[in-house]
Structure 1
Amino acid sequence: MSSDRLPEMTQAQRDRLAFVDLRLRFVGEIRRQDLVARFDIQAAAATRDIAQYKELAPRNLEYDTKGKVYVRASWFRPLFDFPAERVLTWLSEGYGDGEPIRWKGVVPQEGTALPAQLDLEMLSVLTRAIHRNAAVEVSYRALSSGLTTREIAPFALANNGQRWHVRAFDRRSGEFRDFVLARLADAKMLPGPVNEHELPAQDIQWNRVTELELVPHPANVQHPDTIEAEYGMENGVLKVRARAAMAGYLLRRWNVDCTEDHSLKSGEFHLWLRNRQALYGVTNLVLAPGYGETGKGS
């Protein structure tokens, strides 16, 4: 049943049913307490919502008597049609999890994002695997090796500002890596828990947090107070804490000159990394503008 053919009900009811649909699809389970906590309703109301969802989509969920939780059935078919960006926002930020509705914004706005194909069923396998600490077999298209089959142990989603990745242990390389979601396909959850060395606690780059000190570029910015105001700097510096695994993405996205002597002269470099030593040991610095340059003319 498509969401536009649901029986007449209030928007609040539709939002709660959509939440049940999302939890089942991307987490793999739903408890009454999930509805109680999200919508501040009584347990009896949550029971009625789940019963109503089961009436509308009886093949979507089963009750696990041992775990006392409703779980996603193998023949699950989503009741609501969510766009991929909405799902990713819900998964990563935990808000806006009501039914998607079309509405006109308060003011006109446009974006510059490039379209990317994303298989939501594939995404649901990944997110359920993250929830269960399970490994996944996937088909992945890499720039260097083309289409390959891999086993990965995913544990987090990551957004580099341009596209979404999943952070996972890659059994093929024996390393923790980032996989572009839009390059993944044919995901299948594997039985059993992941190995101890594949757990997120073993991912040094993910768990290390580094503090970056960004300042107006000494050579490219004539009026540093403009940049200080734009980024809300204090005493002429913006301190940003980032996971080591994400630092290269951040520096590239914001065109931060990472040379020792601020020698990148192109006009797009408004910021300079003042504490270059904070990047020692960070592995994805191939993305950081000028990090491999040691002086002018290099």
Structure 2
Amino acid sequence: MSNDAISDLTQPQRDRLAFIELRLRFLGEIRRQDLVTRFGIQSAAATRDIAQYKDLAPRNLDYDTKTKTYVRADWFRPLFDFASERVMTWVSQGYGDGEPIRWKPLVTCEGSSLEAKCDLEVLSVLTRAIHRKQIVEVSYRALSSGLTTREIVPFALADNGQRWHVRAFDRRSNEFRDFVIGRITDARIMAGAATDIELPDQDIQWNRVAEIELVPHPANVQHPDTIEAEYGMKEGVLKVRVRAAMAGYLLRRWNVDCTEDHGLKGEEHHLWLRNRQALYGVTNLVLAPGFGIQRKEW
């Protein structure tokens, strides 16, 4: 979009046009009702917004007469330049979908995270495939096997606190796995439909929800009431419900001591997993600090 075209629009207009583009780019479709619901406008106004977007980018959308839906065209080229972090916020939390301008914080704020690489075109293929239940061919860089081509059936995005994954059935290994989005170098939607064993309801680790109990570390914390207050514990325990497929990530991120005898030393281990048995059979616990360490026999 040229600067002249932007200057001729009001801020609400830019927000609505950006919303149209987000829906087209990452979900593959936009309906008038989407605009009506999101912005509280009338159907006639939504029709004008879509027409205006089409005037600015005529090759970005087509009209599907069967579903009465505007769909992403093959020649789609984005008008707006969104930061990947904002897109991730939008697709995962459903807000932050206005025009991509740089907002100023209300107070001084700094972060300590590394910005993970994320190709928005790759992301758009994955999100459209998730939304439409489609199969994707990806070029993926794995630590164990290097660059390979795989067919996956994605159904969810997952944030492990450090980087984003896509949860998908992997036809190469014939099992459900997590794929780091930043390691996907190319992606394209394929024809065909997923089989029954590839559907999300067959992913045992994703559908299983465990309740873990975290307590102040019995050996490393001198004043447990400090940890209890920091985490809002009730009666000295923080109970967290987590998908089995995400448990290892959570425990590693918070440096939770997962040994049976709370034997990990170090100031970084403020929390101890009190109920290891609740995670029996969880496959990604190799990531959890000390989970593979057995209790010492005396």
TM-score by length of 1: 0.97
Give the whole-Å Cα distance in 1 for the aligned partners of 2:263 and 2:196: 44
Give the match for residue 197 of structure 1: 197
The superposition leaves residues 202-258 of structure 1 with CA deviations (integer Å, 9 ceiling, x where unpaired) of: 000000000010000001000000000000000000000000000000000000011
Q: Deviation at 1:79?
A: 1.1
Q: What corresponds to 2:83 in structure 1? A: 83
Helix, strand or coil at the partner of 1:261: coil
Name stretches of at least 5 consecutive residues in structure 2 with no aligned partner.
none
Q: Secondary structure at the match of 1:46?
A: helix
What runs of 5+ residues in structure 1 fail to find an aligned partner?
Answer: none
- 1:136 alignment counterpart: 136
User: Would the alpha carbon gap of residues 13 and 116 (structure 1) be closer, same or farther in structure 2, given more than 3 Å must change?
Assistant: same
Aligned twin of 2:93 = 93
Deviation at 1:185, TM superposition (A): 1.5
User: Equivalent residue for 2:262?
Assistant: 262
Letter in 2 for 1:113: S
Superposition map of 1:202-217 within 5 A: 202-217=202-217
Q: Find runs of 4+ consecutive structure 1 residues off by over 4 angstroms.
A: 2-5
Whether the aligned pair in 2 keeps the contact of 1:2 and 1:80 (CA below 8 Å) is no
Q: What is the alpha-carbon distance in structure 2 between the residues aligned to residue 120 and residue 201 of structure 1?
A: 28
Q: Distance in 2 between matches of 1:79 and 1:296?
A: 61
CA offsets 1:153-177 (integer angstroms, 9 cap, x no match): 0000000000000000000000100
**Which one-letter code corresponds to 1:201 in the other structure?**
D
TM-score (norm 2): 0.97
Distance 2:103 2:2 in 1: 19
Question: Do 1:3 and 1:81's aligned partners in 2 also have CA atoms closer than 8 Å?
Answer: no
Whole-angstrom distance in 2 between the partners of 1:259 and 1:271:
11
Q: Report the counterpart of residue 123 of structure 1 in structure 2.
A: 123
**Structure 1 equivalent of residue 38 of structure 2:** 38
Q: Secondary structure at the match of 1:6?
A: helix
* TM alignment of 1:63-74, pairs within 5 A: 63-74=63-74
In structure 2, give the amino acid aligned to 1:181: I
2:218 match:
218
Shift of 1:40: 1.3
Q: One-letter code of the match for 1:149?
A: T
Q: Which secondary structure state, in structure 1, belongs to the residue aligned with residue 191 of structure 2?
A: strand
Measure, in 1, the Cα distance between the counterparts of 2:143 and 2:297: 31
Count of residue pairs brought into register by the alignment: 298
Aligned to 1:54: 54
